[in-house]
Amino acid sequence: MGKLAITGGEPTAQLSAPAWPVHSADDAQRLLRVLESGSWSMMGEMEDAFNHAWAEFSGSRHSLAVTNGTHALQLAYEALDIGFGDEVIVPAMTWQATAGAALDVNAVPVLVDVEADTWCIDPQAVESAITPRTRAIACVHLYGCMVDMDAIMDIARGHDLRVVEDCSHQHGSQWRGKGVGTTGDAGTFSFQLSKVMTAGECGCVFVQDDDLFRRLDQLRSCGRPSSHFPEEAQSPLQSGNFRVTEWQCAILLGQLERLPDQIATREVCGQRLNRVLAESPGVRPLRRLDGVTRQSYYSYGFRFLSEEWDGLSRDRFCAALSAETGLEFSRPYSSLNDCDLYQPRTKKRHCISDEYWAAIDPTRFHVPVADRASKAEGVVIDHQALLLPPENMDAVGEAILKLHRHRDELRG
């Protein structure tokens, strides 16, 4: 037997992340109220209550719950009148929906690189990618980092571009005291099962402009006039059904009640883990920008530097660290230029023209920083681990030090 847990030795710690999702008796009571009401959808009591509560918590003028996070992005693009002939600048390191939703409105997602120490969209790469066809910038606040919104908004204003914030990793974060998703033209959220607020599946769009909200409300409900505005002042739109149910919003109300305490717990753990990793060999914490005034974590990410481990692979490191701690460390998202789930040219409906077909080929984009983070350097741990007592984070540092000392055994 070796000295390391992965080679048969004793682990550094035996930690166990809390179960997810969390629910309570109050959630069951809200669901029972929906059941007995007979009103299970179409702007019922729970949907209205959630939209108001979530908007108030985040400081948004409007919140609109929709079917899921992917549709939230699609509706945001459509409401901003983005479509065929337009380009949307998208970070190469993100879940495929950020780009896929742009495809679904027949725009061209233009993949750009990310910053090495935040994995968020690189403002310099954005500036370089702007063409006469560029209409919007999609900012993804990824894992435990936020985009430099000051730099992005300066670029957008200088080029008359729209900004869509994909906030699916950041429920409750703040940039300079403003709720995430309220700085750009639209902010979108996912409430999918793994997210820090979840209804199993659901999504949401934040906007601050009344006319944009009216258009969004129409688009999410088959193009009907919005009930929030005089009907005679509106014209029907072509759209589909992106409405949510009362069941989902009832669950989200409970999720929102627990969110502030969970954010505070995760932030304390995240800051402690930052300090631990800064003092550990062969790894680096990601950078927290000065503009971040509250950080919510979907997953916590950090960098593994193979050259400081005598060529050890990132995947072997993740397996060994998982064995040492009992927590699950894994790789981040694949870069969209080489992602199994981002395959624009597998759908006939995207074959609009030869020019468009060539433009949406993701392999044409060169994004070395995102490639490196995805394939060799990035490590993530899910947000549940950050709900542990903060002192448990010290065990991660102890495990990394142990692995580094015995890296020859690990490589063998």
User: Phi and psi for 204 in degrees, rounded to 5?
Assistant: -160, 150
> Residue 162 is part of a domain; what is its CATH number?
3.40.640.10
CA 317 from chain centre, in angstroms, equals 25
Q: Is the pLDDT of residue 284 over 80?
A: yes
Q: Is the pLDDT of residue 233 over 90?
A: no
Report if residue 315 sits inside a domain: no
* Confidence class for position 162, pLDDT limits 50, 70, 90: very high
CA distance 146 to 148: 7
Q: What integer pLDDT is reported at residue 231 of this predicted model?
A: 87
Report if residue 358 sits inside a domain: no
CA distance 167 to 405: 39
Domain of 100 in residue numbering reads as 25-254
The predicted model gives 125-140 an average pLDDT of 98
Q: What integer pLDDT is reported at residue 116 of this predicted model?
A: 98
Report if residue 218 sits inside a domain: yes
Q: What integer pLDDT is reported at residue 234 of this predicted model?
A: 86
Average pLDDT, the chain: 97
Q: Is the pLDDT of residue 61 over 80?
A: yes
Q: What integer pLDDT is reported at residue 173 of this predicted model?
A: 98
Report if residue 108 sits inside a domain: yes
Number of domains in the chain: 1
The predicted model gives 347-354 an average pLDDT of 94
CA distance 122 to 148: 8
Report if residue 240 sits inside a domain: yes
Report if residue 340 sits inside a domain: no
Report if residue 402 sits inside a domain: no
CA distance 57 to 49: 12
CA distance 230 to 117: 48
Tell me the one-letter amino acid at 59.
Answer: G
Q: Is the pLDDT of residue 105 over 80?
A: yes
Residue from 129, 186, 177, 36 nearest 364 by CA: 129
Q: Is the pLDDT of residue 412 over 90?
A: no
In eight-state DSSP terms, residue 378 is: E
Per-residue pLDDT tens for 1-20? Answer: 799 999 999 999 999 999 99
Percent residues over pLDDT 70 in the chain? 100
Three-class DSSP labels, 227-275: CCCCHHHCCCCCCCECCCEHHHHHHHHHHHHHHHHHHHHHHHHHHHHHH
Task: Write out the H or E segment, with its range, that includes residue 90.
Answer: strand 87-91
Report if residue 3 sits inside a domain: no
In eight-state DSSP terms, residue 185 is: S
Per-residue pLDDT tens for 135-159? Answer: 999 999 999 999 999 999 999 999 9
Q: What integer pLDDT is reported at residue 67 of this predicted model?
A: 98
Q: Is the pLDDT of residue 168 over 90?
A: yes
Q: What integer pLDDT is reported at residue 1 of this predicted model?
A: 76
